[in-house]
Chains A and B, each alone.
Chain A
Amino acid sequence: MSTLTTQQPLIDRLKDFVQHTASGPQEHQRLEALAQFEALGLPHPDLEDWKYTNFKGLKALDPSNPLPILDESTIDISKYRIAGLDAIELVFVNGRFAGSLSRPFESDQLYVSTLAKARNLRHHLLETHLGKYAQQATEGLTALNLAMASDGFVIHLTKNEVCDRPVVIYQLSTGTHDRGWNNQRNLIVAEAGSRLVVIEKYISQSPVFDNIVTEIVVGSNANVEHYKLQTRYGDAWQVGTTRVEQDRDSRYYNATISWSGQMIRNNLQARHAGQNCETHFFGLYLLDHDNLIDNHTLMDHAMPNCYSHELYKGIVGPEGKAVFNGKVLVRPDAQKTNAYQSNANILLADTGTVNAKPELEIFADDVKCSHGATVGQLDLNELFYLKSRGIGEEKARTILLTAFAGEVVEAVRIEALRDDLMAQLMEELQRMQISFE
């Protein structure tokens, strides 16, 4: 890396970087991805998918520029741990695996480790799955991620195995005031009949740009529960793309909860590759003060007899900007699809913005699909009802907002995590209320 010079054009430097860090079939895949990135470029607002979300500063960043390497012993992860949760844990600091802070797990049935390690030891798994689902042919940052990512997490659960403990991934960025670019590539493979819970927790003390791509394979009749938390994310930026491939009779359950970070784009895409799949997406976003949170979902109903359910809720304070774009695609073969989508927003101030865009594309004729999007203020009738019973304005507002947002937190099925989030939610709403006055 030290041989790179800033005089070279970016793409040549990235090519050098890949050639320096990869070899064999991986090098081929990564160079190919780099070529795809070269053709696609960075996202810009002229693209329909990026109309409302402009990562203006990206161009100035070097995608190969590594974040500082820190002494693991100086890092305290304990205050970010979820109380009362016995978990398998992987900790990444500035994109690098922090072994001494982690509690990994490796057995014949369950592999919880890193991409760097898996590249040496799990060739077959990576060759079968890595880069096979995420859309590097159409998404520039996804292509760039495949080319550049040197690490990430890999979870592999074999057939009919039940993983009792949740796997928690802590992504911490710290130690610099410069905006550094972190590419991270993750893979989750839950084979037929297995059961897995994964929690991704993003923590930032530095203004990182995280370009994260996670591919998730849910085997037939397998069950994956997945939580993505951006609750202590400081001034970070993220484009996080999660691509889920579901085999027949499988269930995938996701909750994405975001109330910090300066600019976040979450892409969550599920495709049903077999019949009788069930997919749940829950999302909650709270933001103000020039922050932007954009949730782009794609529910790709490619096969018949599948069920999907989406509930996204947001509270937007002064100068906050929220985007929800929910696409439900029902392909011609996907008869008897049952798809439901709902997006509800509360605007606390007239300087907040919400762009809500449900997109239903239905090519099958025997389906049940519904969607609803609302943007409104706190219900004045509800507020008066509370006040008339002796609850003051500020408390009444906090109660109603907590109840509104709480519906999503309640969807979290891990009790310790749910309690932790509920407590934080109330603090966060109080903070928003106070800053609002």
Chain B
Amino acid sequence: MLNINNLKASIDDKQILKGINLEVKPGEVHAIMGPNGSGKSTLSSVIAGREGYEVSGEVLFNGKDLLELAPEVRAWEGIFLAFQYPVEIPGVSNTNFMRTCINEQRKYRGLPDMDASTFLKTMREKAELVELDPNLMKRSVNQGFSGGEKKRNEIFQLAMLDPKLAILDETDSGLDIDALRIVSNGVNKLRNKDNAFVVITHYQRLLDYIIPDFVHVLMNGQIVKSGTKELAYELEEKGYDWIKAELKEAAL
């Protein structure tokens, strides 16, 4: 589904990604962990198409060269990024925002606009999935939402747009345990054999709820170690220094 080959990215002449290789297949959940400043958020931004990066290498999504596509086309093709810091959009109601997103996607796929009753029914169902207060739908996107509500709103949008590949960028940061459980439950219910998730996190705790098939360690712009969920426990227990030591040893 997703093939990343030797992906490099820099911003203002500062190289952040230094050759990433990653393959994600349908039905899989990949966790990417790493210390602050290792390039985790840059990786998600580059996949989603944020401007401002100098990018080289290859990102193929179901055979299409993602780097050639505008962010909205990537979204239509089935990429979704749950933002680490969801953006507040004053004046645009959640409902209108979602209606526009869905209908733009449908237009790309050659479908007519979703009819109003199906749309409202879907909204209700998906809001329930992440226990989001239906009253928030009338309010401006993320404006005045608590931290937890913003993150749940990201997963709600994910559920509405039903992407093939979802990237969760530190969705767990700043969430209390109840909100974390709600968000994780939502994600688990959305998992199926045809879609895939890349879960970027700082904390192993999230991976107790969203169980990954693979765990990758991103350090200094490269994936330096990959393993199964046990690797996450090891990182939680021992931190990242042992990996640095291992790398140093290997370099010698």
Contacts and interface: CB of A to CB of B under 8 A. Distances in A.
Contacts of A402: 91
B51 interface: yes
B75 A390 contact: yes
Interface string A381-396: 1101111111111011
A137 interface: no
A47 interface: no
A406 interface: yes
Contacts of A404: 90-91
B105 A390 contact: yes
B173 to A, nearest CB: 17
A390 B87 contact: no
A74 to B, nearest CB: 42
A403 B161 contact: no
Given A380-B51, A395-B104, A399-B100, A387 B71 contact: yes
A362 interface: no
Given A380-B51, A384-B50, A384-B71, A391 B100 contact: yes
Given A380-B51, A395-B100, A399-B100, A388 B91 contact: no
Interface in A372-424: 379-382, 384-393, 395-396, 399-400, 402-404, 406-407
Contacts of B51: 380, 384
Nearest to B50: A384
B4 interface: no
B11 interface: no
A384 B46 CA distance: 12
Contacts of B81: 388
A407 B89 CA distance: 12
Interface in B57-112: 70-72, 74-76, 80-81, 83, 86-87, 89-92, 97, 100-101, 104-105, 108
Interface residues of A, number: 23
A121 B74 CA distance: 71
Given A392-B70, A392-B104, A399-B92, A385 B87 contact: yes
Contacts of A403: 89-92, 140
Interface size class of B (residues with CB under 8 A): 20 to 34
Contacts of B92: 399-400, 403
B157 interface: yes
B127 interface: no
Contacts of A385: 83, 86-87, 89
Contact of B76 (A382, A390, A399): A390
B129 interface: no
A41 to B, nearest CB: 44
Contacts of B76: 390
A404 B92 CA distance: 9
Q: Which of A380, A393, A403 has the most CB of B within 10 A?
A: A403
A387 B80 CA distance: 11
A382 B72 contact: no
Contact of B72 (A379, A380, A390): A390
Contacts of A390: 72, 75-76, 101, 104-105, 108, 161
B161 A389 contact: yes
Given A395-B104, A399-B100, A387 B91 contact: no
A391 B72 contact: yes
A338 B141 CA distance: 30
B72 A393 contact: yes
Nearest to A409: B91
A389 B87 contact: no
B73 to A, nearest CB: 8
B49 interface: yes
A391 B104 contact: yes
B79 to A, nearest CB: 8
Contact of B89 (A387, A388, A400): A400
A172 B236 CA distance: 74
Given A380-B51, A385-B83, A389-B161, A406 B91 contact: yes
A380 to B, nearest CB: 7
A402 B140 CA distance: 13
A382 B91 contact: no
A19 B108 CA distance: 71
Given A380-B51, A402-B91, A403-B92, A391 B101 contact: yes
Nearest to B88: A382
Nearest to A405: B91
B48 interface: yes
A271 to B, nearest CB: 32
Interface string A272-313: 000000000000000000000000000000000000000000
Contacts of B89: 382, 385-386, 400, 403
B90 A388 contact: no
A358 to B, nearest CB: 21
A389 B87 CA distance: 12
Contacts of A389: 72, 75, 97, 101, 157, 161
A388 B250 CA distance: 40
26 contacts: A380-B51, A382-B89, A384-B49, A384-B51, A384-B71, A385-B87, A385-B89, A386-B89, A386-B97, A387-B49, A387-B70, A388-B49, A388-B50, A389-B72, A390-B75, A390-B105, A390-B161, A391-B101, A391-B104, A393-B70, A399-B100, A400-B89, A400-B92, A402-B91, A403-B140, A406-B91
Given A389-B75, A403-B90, A407-B91, 14 more contacts: A381-B87, A384-B51, A388-B48, A388-B71, A388-B81, A390-B76, A391-B72, A391-B104, A393-B70, A393-B72, A395-B104, A399-B92, A399-B100, A406-B91
The 10 closest A-B CB pairs, nearest first, are A403-B91, A390-B75, A387-B71, A385-B87, A389-B101, A403-B92, A387-B72, A390-B105, A392-B72, A390-B104
